[in-house]
Amino acid sequence: MLCCPELQMLPLRRPASLAARRLLRDNQRISALARAGDVAAARRVFDSMPHRDVVSWNALLTALWRAGRHHLPAARRLFDEAMPSRDVVSWNSIIAGCLAHGDLDAASAYFACAPKRNEATWNAMLAGLLRLGRADDADRLFGEMPKRNVVSYTTMVDGLARRGDVESARRLFDGIRAKDVISWNAMIAGYVHNGHGEEAMRLHAVMFREDVKPDHATLIAVLTACSALALLRQGKSTHAIAIKAMLESGVSFSNALMTMYSKCGNVGESELVFINLRTKDIVSWNTIIAAYAQHGKYQKVIALFHEMEVTGLIPDDITFLSVLSACGHVGMVDASLKLFDLMSSKYAISPRAEHYACIVDILSRAGQLEKASSYIKDMPLEAEKNVWGSLLGACQIHGNVQLGELAAKMLVQSDSESSGPYVILSNIYAAAGMWGQVNQVRGQMKERGVKKQPGYSWTEIANEVHMFVGGDASHPEMRKIISELRKISFHMRMVTNEAHIMIFLANKSEPMLLTVMGKVMLAWQS
């Protein structure tokens, strides 16, 4: 971590002269302007100073590179040519500036030339290497560090977790003797980032028992884990902790809170959080729009979208993704296509693969498979798995063998080990009575070593999490679950104009239905 120049103040004693008092005041002004990003004003203060010391030069140096990448050359010239003297803070600043703007070669050169390095020097270089994806170099540097502090270990924990090595991150975390809240946050967030929500919750419980006070980052990570696991009770508990600690006012926390309530099925509570927000940023609007989109509230989504426009906020690509999703839930094909065109025509937003996938999904659900296929062909970028996946799923629903074969082929090319495309294509062939092709697909799966992974899901009931795995009938309440499945299957078969439900249920034996039992647990609870 960079040792900020503003921390390198003159000794805390009464200045002996007016000149010393002015020097201290001007240095503080430059540092404050640097934090505010006003490099021009910082330069004016610097130029007006009758006397300067190394703190003055360090403050201006930091102000320059903090103002943006285009100011980095000026910062380097100041460091290389103008500074009359440099201390370790000067070297730390220029190294951090180069790393902040992705110039690893320059940062490495300064690091190699630094006459003296402290822990902040090493930590700044370590963090920069990890941020720029140079994991092996970061590992080597960490091994070379003459002295490591909690910042060094926390930086490595964060870096390991970000590249998916949570086991190594946890071992390193456990070895930190004096953990601070940032260390705990790094490990908890690492678990959340890698989909290990349960481990994140367990570690947070340990943190609580050890009486480590959480901060905003802690609570946001925990709320994210609650969202992923649909743990409403723990989410409410986290909300209560935030209120008690007076940490609930931040917009980032409120955004995470809205997401948690929405993912746990309480969209009304999400709206209450949104209404009570004093300052709403684009993420806040996107979060509440996404919440209603996930719950299929098309009219509410459109109303919020227009309300957002009235406030003067410009929607971004994420906004449109949620609105398109809401249109898809209610089959608003024409409205979806108009919104898709509006992205580029009015807001100059280039659609991403996710937007094309959404449009393809909407058209496919409506049975317009040829039009969906034409959108894929016209994409300015290569279609990703989610695009072909939407088309393949629709081909199963509507029995389109030709396009199903194309979509399955493209999916297998992008991920040859996934069983999904084979299984769905086999189902398409089976529905069409093409049993020879069914056997051929199964033969290809066996030949290529592709195995169907069992589905799993979970739900929380009475403070206990129940997990279900496809084909596993070991749950103690299995008879009751099977009874509910039969009831729901019966009611689903009574629904008219739902071809996708009927095709899904066709050829499904009772054990196979266990792969979706997690989705009927609400009925079991009642």
| pLDDT higher than threshold 50 for residue 512 | no
Question: What is the rounded CA–CA span in Å between residue 206 and residue 204?
Answer: 5
Rounded distance between C-alpha atoms, residue 475 and residue 262, angstroms = 29
Reported as a pLDDT band with limits 50, 70 and 90, residue 421 is confident
Residue 48 makes CB contacts below 8 A (sequence gap 6+) with: 26
CB-based contacts of 97, cutoff 8 Å, min separation 6: 61, 62, 64, 65, 66, 72, 75
- Beta bridge partners, 467, equal 458
Topology annotation, domain 1-144: 1.25.40
Reference 183, options 151, 226, 148; nearest CA is: 151
Q: What φ, ψ does residue 468 adopt, rounded to 5°?
A: -130, 135
Q: What is the number of alpha carbons within 13 Å of residue 7 lying toward its C-beta?
A: 10
Structure tokens at 59: 């403050």
- Residues 263 and 226: their CA atoms lie apart, in Å, by 9
As to burial, measured by CB atoms within 10 angstroms (0-12 exposed, 13-18 middle, 19+ buried), residue 82 is exposed
Instruction: Inform me whether the pLDDT recorded for 515 exceeds 70.
Output: no
**CA dist., res. 209 & res. 187, Å (int):** 16
Over residues 366-390, the mean pLDDT reads: 87
Spell out the alpha helix ranges (H) of 399-498: 401-414, 420-431, 435-447, 478-494
Enter the tokens of residue 453: 């992974």
Which residues 6+ apart lie within 8 Å of 472 measured at CB? 454, 514
Of 1-15, 286-300, 469-483, 493-507, highest mean pLDDT: 286-300
Cα–Cα distance for residue pair 5/64, rounded to 1 Å: 13
Q: What value does the mean pLDDT take over residues 40-65?
A: 94
CB 161 within 8 A of CB 189: yes
Alpha helices, DSSP H only, in 12-149?
A: 18-36, 39-48, 54-66, 72-77, 88-100, 104-113, 119-131, 135-144
pTM: 0.71
Query: Which run of H or of E encompasses 2?
Result: none
Query: 19-32: string of b/e by CB count within 10 Å (b at 16+)?
Result: eeeebeebbebbbb
Q: State how far the Cα of 109 lies from the Cα of 327, in Å rounded to an integer.
A: 54
Return the bridge partners of 461, or none. 464
| Each residue's pLDDT tens digit, 439-495 | 988 888 888 877 766 565 666 666 666 666 666 666 777 778 888 888 887 777 665
* Most confident among 282-291, 350-359, 400-409, 451-460 (mean pLDDT): 282-291
- Dihedral sign from CA coordinates of 7, 10, 13, 15: negative
pLDDT at position 462: 62
**What CA–CA distance (Å, rounded) separates 310 from 301?**
14
Lowest mean pLDDT among 12-16, 167-171, 260-264, 423-427: 12-16
What sign has the CA pseudo-torsion 341, 343, 347, 353? negative
224: helix, coil or strand?
Answer: helix
Task: Name the nearest CA neighbour of 489 among 459, 467, 519, 460.
Answer: 519
pLDDT surpassing 70 at residue 206: yes
DSSP code string of 499-511: HHHHHHHTT--TT
* Nearest in space to 224 (alpha carbons), one of 214, 213, 215, 234: 234
61-87 pLDDT, tens digit per residue, is 999 999 999 999 999 999 999 999 999
User: Residue type at 306?
Assistant: H
Confidence of residue 277 (pLDDT cuts 50, 70, 90): very high
**Residue 249: per-residue pLDDT:** 81
DSSP 247-310: ---SHHHHHHHHHHHHHTT-HHHHHHHHHT-SS--HHHHHHHHHHHHHTT-HHHHHHHHHHHHH
Q: pLDDT averaged over the chain?
A: 86
Q: Label residue 522 by pLDDT band (50, 70, 90).
A: very low
DSSP 3-state of 368? coil
Task: Read off the tokens for 442.
Answer: 């199964």
Each residue's pLDDT tens digit, 113-128: 999 999 999 999 999 9
CB-neighbour burial class of residue 150 (10 A; exposed 0-12, middle 13-18, buried 19+): middle
Q: Which of 172-186, 346-360, 462-476 has the lowest mean pLDDT?
A: 462-476
Q: Domain map of the chain by residue range?
A: 1-144, 456-525
Segment 491-511, tens digit of pLDDT: 776 654 444 544 444 444 444
Instruction: Give the torsion through C-alpha atoms of 324, 328, 330, 333, to 10 deg.
Output: 90
Tell which residue, 133, 134, 119, 73, has the closest CA to residue 98.
73
